[in-house]
Chain A
Amino acid sequence: MSTIELRQVEKKFGDLHAVKPLDLTIQDGEFIVLLGPSGCGKTTTLRMISGLETVSGGTIWLNGRNVTWLHPSERDIAFVFQFYALYPHLTAWKNIAFPLQAQGESRETVEKRVDEVVKLLQIEHVLKAHPGQLSGGDQQRVALARALVRRPAAFLMDEPLGALDADFRESMRSEIKRLHVLQHATTVYVTHDQIEAMAMGDRIVVMSEAAIQQIGTPAEVYNDPSNLFVARFIGSPGMNLITGEYADGVVQMAGLDNRYAVPQEWQSVLKKRLDSGSEIVIGFRPESAQINDRGELVGKVYASEMQGSSAVLHLTINENEIIHIRTDRLIPYPIDTLVHFDINPQMIRFFDAKTEAAFKPEVSQ
């Protein structure tokens, strides 16, 4: 069992919070992604788990052991760095063998395990080379091999694909995921790329400004973002967000004078939580809207983008806000035309304009 538990873990630099006190439990065998923009605290959190960074408060538990103040090498973790961190004056083989040798394993064990790992990552051909002679992708594979060879309780990866070329990143993504499945290993993966996170994670921890914004499966953070930050950050493009005024089951939006009738399931919640006349934010994904001549809402075409088999239409709702709707590629929409559309009532979401938190619909009995 290799569960990781963070209890009220925080990190301060002077008076500044790099990571506000957070709680997180990672299950055995889970692939969990720490996702967020630069400076949000995700890397610091990962480094605290590894011991490369001290905690300013809180405790870290690995498999029921308090590892908060243990040396990084005593935590039974492996760390994969963004810039590979291979020892430059050792051959690839020696780099991979090193962690086992440092632990004093016998020669046979070392050779056997290195062999296994090399086959797994298909890097037989680079073993005699020095890291400086290898491509980025090969270097990262060697780094992964070095991490795997110890069979640690958990893998910690700090943006391992960040230094690679774009086309290469996709293939490496699937490789890493495949390795994870084969090894049944707990993995904590840090990235700022939400596409990567959505593709790889069993659960995603969305972080921003030193705090956790939401923890959930990719589907959860995509369909039910818990606040405006998550709504914007996840998805490309992010969720459409329009501010309006709520009054008696109707949201009035400025600009093109749109009036949106709140769907049945949401009416009681909103009535309870909002006074008449307070601000509210409507959210919906680009694919949740449908262009419809008799649509309830209207927008003015700002630009359109062809994306392979579909198109994304950018509409202005008022002078400040632009929304994006996914549509059929074939129909042309000249700039400044007025376009009507509907929003799928199952996919609409509402957020409090002041607290930025999402409203949750009441579960019907």
Chain B
Amino acid sequence: MASFEETGPRTPVVEPTRVDKVHPRAKWGKSIRVILTVIVTFIMIIPVLVMIMTAFKSRANIVTPPPKVLFHPTLEGFLYLFTDRSVLSPSNLEAERANPGDLNYWQKLALSVGQKINGPSDYVGRLKNSVIIAGTSTVLSVILGLFAAYAFSRFKIAGKDDLLFFILSTRMLPGVVVTIPLFLLYKQLGWNDTHIGMVILYTVFNLSFSVWLLKGFIDEIPIEYEEAALVDGYTRLQAFFRIVLPQAVNGIAATTVFCLIFAWNEYAFALMLTSEKARTAPPSIATMLGSGGLEWSAIAAGSLGFLIPVAIVTFVLRDYLLRGVTFGAVRK
């Protein structure tokens, strides 16, 4: 059998590669790489798959060993998550079952596990809080951050590096350090457990991040465009709105999404600074209790609700991801 060195590959090579890379040994190496990567990726994804499955499992399926991969899907988890129910006594249960009346899907589902729906659960309200608080604070932090980022990017400012350092360092602070005094401060201001308190908190929480990230994006817009506009007689403000803003749209979008994710996922501050009225979803999910301990399917269902937007966003932002997580420090 002739060796590779003598005869070359079986089919002509029509991509750019080196000679040693089309050697059969190299091709084996590549196949192994691909297989390994697929395996590792699958392993990494398993927990997420488990979560998705759990959201659709019945209580019994979750807590009886061994853990099942094949099961009858049900929407119980969502029922537990979104509704407040009461357990029917056996006699009431009989009665309800005998006399069903006109029940919608959810009511029937509740009946099938021996419960009756009373109304929406706390979680729905908490979810609303999350949306309001995360949304508002994101808008604020992006807008403020945008202006500050532009100023830092385009102007000579006394002590600019120190100021930027200061802004970055606020992000380095452990949340717990500021939580205690903020807790007290909020108590004084009456902002404890209020939307406005949380909105301001999250705005500041994301501000340092959005300033750094946006500055990185604005730095990349060539300054010549604004200079030309200024020569043409535009004011600085006009140049900012007409020229810089449109070109920064990508960066603004990416920053907005990152801020949204961080605010949406935030747990520690929400846990410590809210209790009832302004509580957001993350602390609530952790404490969903069922009849005998944690209501896993509800937790999974709630987590799924978190997971889906995150997955979409990860895919959409994959090119910006590296910048986002290192505050614009590293560009891909």
Contact = CB atoms under 8 A, between A and B. Distances in A.
Interface residues of A, number: 16
Interface string A1-40: 0000000000011100000000000000000000000000
B162 interface: no
Given A54-B22, A56-B12, A69 B17 contact: no
A70 B13 CA distance: 15
A51 B19 contact: yes
Contacts of B14: 12-14, 56
A68 B15 CA distance: 16
B8 interface: yes
B12 A57 contact: yes
A14 B16 CA distance: 10
Interface string A54-72: 1111000000001011111
Contacts of B15: 13-14
A53 interface: yes
Nearest to B8: A69
Secondary structure class of chain B's binding surface, majority of residues: loop
Contacts of B20: 51, 71-72
A52 interface: yes
B89 interface: no
A69 B12 contact: no
B68 to A, nearest CB: 48
A69 B5 contact: yes
B13 A56 contact: yes
B99 interface: no
Nearest to B19: A51
B33 to A, nearest CB: 20
A69 to B, nearest CB: 4
B26 to A, nearest CB: 11
| Interface size range on B against A | 10 to 19
Interface string B1-38: 00011111100111111111011000000000000000
A68 B9 CA distance: 11
B19 to A, nearest CB: 4
B5 A54 contact: no
Nearest to B14: A12
B260 to A, nearest CB: 41
B5 A70 contact: yes
Interface string A260-285: 00000000000000000000000000
A70 B16 contact: no
B25 to A, nearest CB: 11
B297 to A, nearest CB: 51
B12 to A, nearest CB: 5
Interface in B272-302: none
Nearest to B18: A52
A56 B19 CA distance: 11
A54 B12 CA distance: 9
Contact of A72 (B4, B7, B19): B19
Contact of B17 (A14, A53, A70): A53
A345 to B, nearest CB: 49
- Best-buried of B9, B14, B15, B17 by chain A (most CB within 10 Å): B14
B16 A72 contact: no
A69 B13 contact: no
B18 A68 contact: no
B16 A69 contact: no
A349 to B, nearest CB: 38
A347 B19 CA distance: 46
Contacts of A66: 6
A44 B248 CA distance: 39
A186 to B, nearest CB: 20
Interface of A: 12-14, 51-57, 66, 68-72
25 contacts: A12-B14, A13-B15, A13-B16, A14-B14, A51-B18, A52-B18, A53-B16, A53-B18, A54-B9, A54-B13, A54-B18, A54-B19, A56-B12, A56-B14, A57-B12, A69-B4, A69-B5, A69-B7, A69-B8, A69-B9, A69-B19, A70-B5, A70-B19, A72-B18, A72-B19
Interface of B: 4-9, 12-20, 22-23
Given A51-B18, A54-B22, 17 more contacts: A13-B14, A13-B16, A14-B14, A53-B16, A53-B19, A54-B17, A54-B18, A55-B13, A56-B12, A56-B13, A56-B14, A66-B6, A69-B6, A70-B5, A71-B23, A72-B18, A72-B20
The 3 closest A-B pairs by CB, nearest first: A54-B13, A51-B19, A69-B8
